[in-house]
C-alpha cells in the first residue's frame, strides 16, 4: 500500500556545540505535495533544509530522496543535480550577473567545467529562459544586473532559478518576506501551480500566506515535529497554541 | 567558425579589447622600428636596454593578467603567483644553461658552471631532457600547472577560501624561495642561472634576437588575452563569476565549485609560467629572489591599480606601475616603496575599479547597472 515518498527524513539529530538544532526529526513528503513548515525561531526549519541539501551533515539519522538515494552520502552539487532545488531565506542571486545570466546558470544540464566552457544555448533553452522570465515578471529587466533588483524581484528571480533547475523537490525558505500584498498573492499562485508536478516544501512565518496555500502544515518546535495536519487542526492543537500561535 | 564569430562579437561589444590589442600591436611594431631602423644618434632611438625593459613590462603584463583571471573573475586572491612565474623561468633557464655547452668558464660540455663549482660529478636526473628546447617548453607549462593542480586540489577540496588561501599561497612561494636558495637543490643556489649565450643557436645579445623576443612576448600576450577573454565570456566564465559572488549558491545550483576553481587556477599558473619563460631570456638571469613573497604582492597591486575583472586593466596596470617603478627607482629610489604602498591604499579607497574604471566611467554614462557597491564578503558558516 505504501506509495513511494519523495523525501524521507528519519530520526535526524543535528547538534551545534551541544545545542540540538534538530532532535529526532522524522518527516516525509509525498510526490506532488505542497507542504508548509512553520515553527518559532530556532525550531530547526532552516537546519532541516541545510541537512536535505547537503550543507550540514547530521549526527545521526537518515535522509533519503525517493527510495534509493541516500542524501547523506552526497554533497551539495550532487544533491542539486539529483533534483532538489533550494531558495534561501535571504534572497541569493548573482548580483553582478544579469537576470538572464542568472537564469542561464540555473539551466538543468551537464554542469562540468569543460561542458560549460563550450556550451551554446539552444533555441529551446532560450525559449525556456524567456518563458520563466515571463512567469516571474522580469522580462523587461532581463538585462539588468541581479544586484539592482528590488527585494521582491530578487525573491522572484530566485524562484525563477528554481524553475530552471526543473527539480523534483523544491525547498523554499521564506518566499514572501519583504513582498507587497500583490506580490504575495502572485507567489501563492505560483507555488500552488508548481505543486502537483513538483513536491514543494515552504518554510514561512507569514500565517496568512501559509493559510492561503497550505493543505498540510507541519509545526516544528525545538527540532522535532510538534503537530501535523491541515491548518485548522494545527491551529487548534493546544500544544501548538502554547509554543507558537498563542505567543 | 561560430567561435570566431562570438569572439568577434565580444570584441566589438567590448571597446577595451580593441584598445588593448591596438596598443599592443603599436608597441610591437613601433619599438622594434625605433631600435633597428632609427640610428643610435637620434633621440627616438631605443637602446638594447630600453628594448629589454619593454619586453620585461610585457612579461609582467601577462603575469598580471593571470592574476586577474583568478582574482578578478573567480575571487581567488593568490599571493603566490610569482612562484609559477619563477618555475616557468627556471624551466627556460635550465634549457639556456644546457645550451651554453662547453662555452662555460669551466668548459665542461655537460655540466653547467655552477655544478662544476659545487663539485657535481654527474647531471642530476631532473636536468635530463632540458638540452631539448621542445622538452623545456613543455616543462614551462607542465611544472607550474602540476604544482597548481596539486596545491589547488587540496586547498579547494578542503574549501580553503579568502584570506586563508592567500596566506597559504604566500607560504608556498616563500617555501619555494628557501628551497631554491639551497645549493644542493641543483638549481644554482642563490646565484641562480645566468651568463646565457644563445637560444636555438641565436645570440641572445644581438638586437635582432631581442627584438624577436619582444615581438614574440607581445604576440603571446595578445593571444593569451584572447583565450582568457574566450574563457570569461563562456558560460564557464559566468559560473566563475557566480562563484566569486556567491560560492555556496553556485554549489546549490549543482556546480562543482572546487573543480571550476581548480581548472581556472591551473590555467592561470600556466600563463604565469609562460610569462616567466619569456622573461628569463630577455633579462638574462633567474634566481631565487624571483620567488620572494613581495613579488607576488606587487603583481596584485598592478592588477588593483589597473582595474580588476577586465584583463586589459591588469595589463595596463602592470605597464604603468612598472614604468613608474623604473622611473622612481632611478631618480628617488628610497621613495619607491612608500609610493607603491600609498598607491595601493589610494586605489583601494578611491578607485575600486582601478584606472580602467576611471577611463571607462567617463566614456559610458554611469548606468544603473554599472559600478554598484559590492557587498562585503560574509564568512561562510563552518560545516559541522
- Which residue segments constitute the domains of chain A, with CATH numbers given? 7-245 (3.40.50.300)
User: Which residues in chain A have their CB less than 8 angstroms from residue B248's CB?
Assistant: 55, 76
Question: For position B145, what pLDDT does the model report?
Answer: 98
CB contact under 8 A, B384 and A101: no
In a domain, B227, yes or no: yes
Q: Cβ of B259 under 8 Å from any chain A Cβ?
A: yes
Q: Cβ of A72 under 8 Å from any chain B Cβ?
A: no
Is the pLDDT higher at B147 or at A89?
B147
Element (H, E) at A80: helix A76-82
Question: For position A205, what pLDDT does the model report?
Answer: 81
Q: Of the candidates A77, A104, A112, which has its C-beta nearest B251's C-beta?
A: A77
Query: Given the C-alpha cell 532581463, which residue does it identify?
Result: A142
Q: Which residue of B has its CA nearest to A96?
A: B245
Quickly list DSSP for A195-234.
Answer: BTTBEEEEE---HHHHHHH-SEEEEEETTEEEEEE-HHHH
Question: For position B365, what pLDDT does the model report?
Answer: 40
Separation of alpha carbons A239 and A217, rounded Å: 15
CB contact under 8 A, A96 and B374: yes
Residue A50 CA: distances (Å) to CA of A66, A87, A104, B136, B367: 18, 11, 24, 49, 38
In a domain, B144, yes or no: yes
Q: Of the candidates A76, A113, A144, which has its C-beta nearest B236's C-beta?
A: A113
Portion 179-218 of B in contact with A at CB < 8 A = none
Flag whether pLDDT at A182 surpasses 60: yes
Mean pLDDT, rounded, for A165-186: 89
Strands A216-221 and A34-38: parallel
Our separate counts of H helices and E strands in chain B read 15, 4
Question: For position B192, what pLDDT does the model report?
Answer: 94
User: Which residues in chain B have their CB less than 8 angstroms from residue A120's CB?
Assistant: 2
Average pLDDT by stretches of 10, chain B with 384 residues: 44 75 95 91 90 96 98 96 98 96 91 92 95 97 98 95 95 97 93 94 93 97 97 96 94 95 98 98 96 96 94 96 92 90 91 86 44 39 43
Q: Cβ of A145 under 8 Å from any chain B Cβ?
A: yes
- Give tens-digit pLDDT for A110-152: 999 999 999 989 999 999 999 999 988 899 999 999 999 998 8
CB contact under 8 A, A147 and B372: yes
In a domain, B60, yes or no: yes
Residue A127 CA: distances (Å) to CA of A5, A130, A131, A188, A204: 32, 5, 6, 24, 32
Separation of alpha carbons B358 and A178, rounded Å: 36
CB contact under 8 A, B248 and A76: yes
**Within a 13 Å sphere around the CA of A140, how many CA atoms are in the beta-carbon half?**
3
Portion 21-60 of A in contact with B at CB < 8 A = 53, 55-57
Burial state string for B172-190 with b = 16 or more CB within 10 A and e = fewer than 16:
bbbebbeebbeeeebbbbe
What value, to the nearest 5°, has the Cα angle with vertex B120 and ends B117 and B122? 140
Question: For position A245, what pLDDT does the model report?
Answer: 54
Question: For position B361, what pLDDT does the model report?
Answer: 63
For residue B286, list its beta bridge partners: B193
Mean pLDDT, rounded, for A27-40: 92
Question: For position A246, what pLDDT does the model report?
Answer: 52
User: Which residues in chain B have their CB less than 8 angstroms from residue A53's CB?
Assistant: 252
Domain that holds residue B243: 2-363
Q: Cβ of A112 under 8 Å from any chain B Cβ?
A: yes
Share of chain A above pLDDT 70, in %: 98
**Helix B235-245, helix B257-283: angle, nearest 10:** 100
In a domain, B371, yes or no: no
Q: Which residue of B has its CA nearest to A109?
A: B254
Residue B220, C-beta contacts closer than 8 angstroms, at least 6 positions apart: B62, B274, B278
Written as nine digits, the cell of B42 is: 637620434
Spatial contact of A108 and A172, defined as CB atoms under 8 Å apart: no
Spatial contact of A83 and A167, defined as CB atoms under 8 Å apart: yes
In a domain, B377, yes or no: no
Q: Which of A174, A184, A171, A175 is nearest to A157 (CA)?
A: A175
Please tell me which of A155-159, A200-204, B239-243, B326-330 the model is most confident about, judged by mean pLDDT: B239-243
* Shortest alpha-carbon distance between residue A236 and chain B (Å): 37
Written as nine digits, the cell of A236 is: 487548534
Q: What is the pTM of this model?
A: 0.90
How many CB atoms within 10 Å of residue B45? 14
- Specify the number of domains making up chain B: 1
Q: Cβ of A96 under 8 Å from any chain B Cβ?
A: yes
Written as nine digits, the cell of B177 is: 624561495
Give me the torsion for CA of A92, A95, A98, A104, rounded to 10°: -40
Query: Sign of torsion, CA B168 B171 B173 B176?
Result: negative
Portion 223-242 of B in contact with A at CB < 8 A = 231, 234-236, 238-239, 241-242
Tell me the CA end-to-end span of chain A in Å, nearest whole number.
Answer: 40
> What's the mean pLDDT when you consider all of chain A?
90
In a domain, B372, yes or no: no
Backbone angles phi, psi at B194, to 5 degrees: -160, -170
User: Which residues in chain B have their CB less than 8 angstroms from residue A119's CB?
Assistant: 234-236
CB contact under 8 A, A101 and B254: no
* Shortest alpha-carbon distance between residue A115 and chain B (Å): 8
In a domain, B380, yes or no: no
Separation of alpha carbons B53 and B326, rounded Å: 9
Amino acid at each position: 500500500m505504501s506509495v513511494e515518498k519523495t523525501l524521507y527524513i528519519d530520526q535526524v539529530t543535528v547538534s551545534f556545540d551541544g545545542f540540538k538544532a534538530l532532535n529526532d526529526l522524522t518527516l516525509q513528503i509525498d510526490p506532488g505535495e505542497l507542504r508548509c513548515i512553520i515553527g518559532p525561531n530556532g525550531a530547526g526549519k532552516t537546519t532541516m533544509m541545510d541537512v536535505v541539501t547537503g550543507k550540514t551533515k547530521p549526527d545521526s539519522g537518515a535522509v533519503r530522496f525517493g527510495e534509493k538515494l541516500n542524501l547523506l552520502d552526497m554533497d551539495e552539487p550532487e544533491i542539486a543535480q539529483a533534483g532538489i532545488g533550494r531558495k534561501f531565506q535571504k534572497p541569493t542571486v548573482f548580483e553582478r550577473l544579469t537576470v538572464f545570466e542568472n537564469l542561464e546558470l540555473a539551466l538543468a544540464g551537464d554542469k562540468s567545467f569543460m561542458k560549460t566552457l563550450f556550451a551554446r544555448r539552444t533555441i529551446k533553452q532560450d525559449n525556456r529562459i524567456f518563458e520563466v522570465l515571463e512567469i516571474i515578471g522580469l522580462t523587461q529587466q532581463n538585462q539588468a544586473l541581479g544586484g539592482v533588483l528590488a527585494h521582491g524581484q530578487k525573491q522572484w528571480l530566485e524562484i525563477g532559478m528554481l524553475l530552471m533547475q526543473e527539480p523534483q523537490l523544491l525547498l523554499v525558505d521564506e518566499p514572501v518576506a519583504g513582498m507587497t500584498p500583490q506580490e504575495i498573492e502572485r507567489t501563492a499562485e505560483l507555488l500552488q501551480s508548481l505543486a502537483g508536478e513538483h513536491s514543494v516544501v515552504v518554510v514561512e512565518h507569514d500565517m496568512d500566506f501559509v493559510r492561503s496555500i497550505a493543505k498540510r502544515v507541519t509545526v516544528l518546535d525545538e527540532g522535532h515535529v510538534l503537530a501535523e495536519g491541515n491548518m485548522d487542526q494545527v491551529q487548534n492543537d493546544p500544544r501548538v497554541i502554547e509554543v507558537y500561535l498563542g505567543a | 567558425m561560430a567561435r570566431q564569430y562570438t569572439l568577434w562579437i565580444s570584441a566589438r561589444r567590448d571597446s577595451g579589447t580593441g584598445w588593448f590589442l591596438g596598443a599592443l600591436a603599436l608597441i610591437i611594431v613601433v619599438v622594434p622600428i625605433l631600435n633597428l631602423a632609427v640610428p643610435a644618434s637620434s633621440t627616438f632611438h631605443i637602446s638594447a636596454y630600453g628594448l629589454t625593459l619593454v619586453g620585461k613590462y610585457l612579461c609582467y603584463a601577462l603575469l598580471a593578467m593571470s592574476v586577474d583571471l583568478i582574482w578578478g573573475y573567480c575571487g581567488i586572491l593568490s599571493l603566490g603567483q610569482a612562484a609559477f612565474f619563477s618555475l616557468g623561468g627556471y624551466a627556460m633557464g635550465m634549457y639556456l644553461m644546457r645550451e651554453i655547452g662547453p662555452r662555460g668558464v669551466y668548459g665542461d660540455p655537460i655540466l653547467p658552471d655552477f655544478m662544476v663549482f659545487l663539485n657535481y660529478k654527474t647531471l642530476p636526473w631532473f636536468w635530463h631532457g632540458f638540452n631539448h628546447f621542445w622538452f623545456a617548453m613543455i616543462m614551462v607549462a607542465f611544472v607550474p600547472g602540476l604544482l597548481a593542480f596539486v596545491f589547488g586540489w587540496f586547498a579547494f577540496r578542503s574549501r580553503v577560501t579568502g584570506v586563508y588561501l592567500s596566506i597559504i599561497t604566500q607560504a608556498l612561494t616563500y617555501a619555494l624561495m628557501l628551497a631554491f636558495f639551497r645549493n644542493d637543490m641543483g638549481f644554482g643556489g642563490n646565484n641562480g642561472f645566468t651568463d646565457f649565450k644563445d637560444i636555438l643557436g641565436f645570440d641572445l645579445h644581438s638586437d635582432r634576437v631581442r627584438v624577436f623576443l619582444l615581438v614574440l612576448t607581445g604576440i603571446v600576450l595578445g593571444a593569451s588575452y584572447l583565450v582568457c577573454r574566450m574563457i570569461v565570456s563562456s558560460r564557464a566564465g559566468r559560473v566563475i563569476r557566480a562563484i566569486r559572488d556567491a560560492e555556496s549558491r553556485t554549489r546549490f545550483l549543482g556546480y562543482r565549485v572546487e573543480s571550476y576553481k581548480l581548472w581556472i587556477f591551473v590555467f592561470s599558473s600556466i600563463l604565469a609560467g609562460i610569462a616567466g619563460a619569456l622573461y628569463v631570456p630577455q633579462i638574462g638571469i633567474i634566481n631565487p629572489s624571483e620567488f620572494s613573497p613581495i613579488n607576488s604582492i606587487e603583481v596584485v597591486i598592478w592588477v588593483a591599480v589597473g582595474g580588476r575583472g577586465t584583463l586589459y586593466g591588469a595589463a595596463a596596470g602592470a605597464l604603468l606601475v612598472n614604468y613608474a617603478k623604473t622611473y622612481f627607482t632611478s631618480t628617488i629610489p628610497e621613495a619607491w616603496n612608500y609610493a607603491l604602498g600609498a598607491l595601493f591604499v589610494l586605489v583601494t579607497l578611491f578607485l575600486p575599479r582601478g584606472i580602467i574604471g576611471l577611463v571607462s566611467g567617463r566614456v559610458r554614462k554611469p548606468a544603473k547597472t554599472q559600478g554598484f557597491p559590492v557587498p562585503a564578503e560574509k564568512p561562510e558558516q563552518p560545516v559541522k
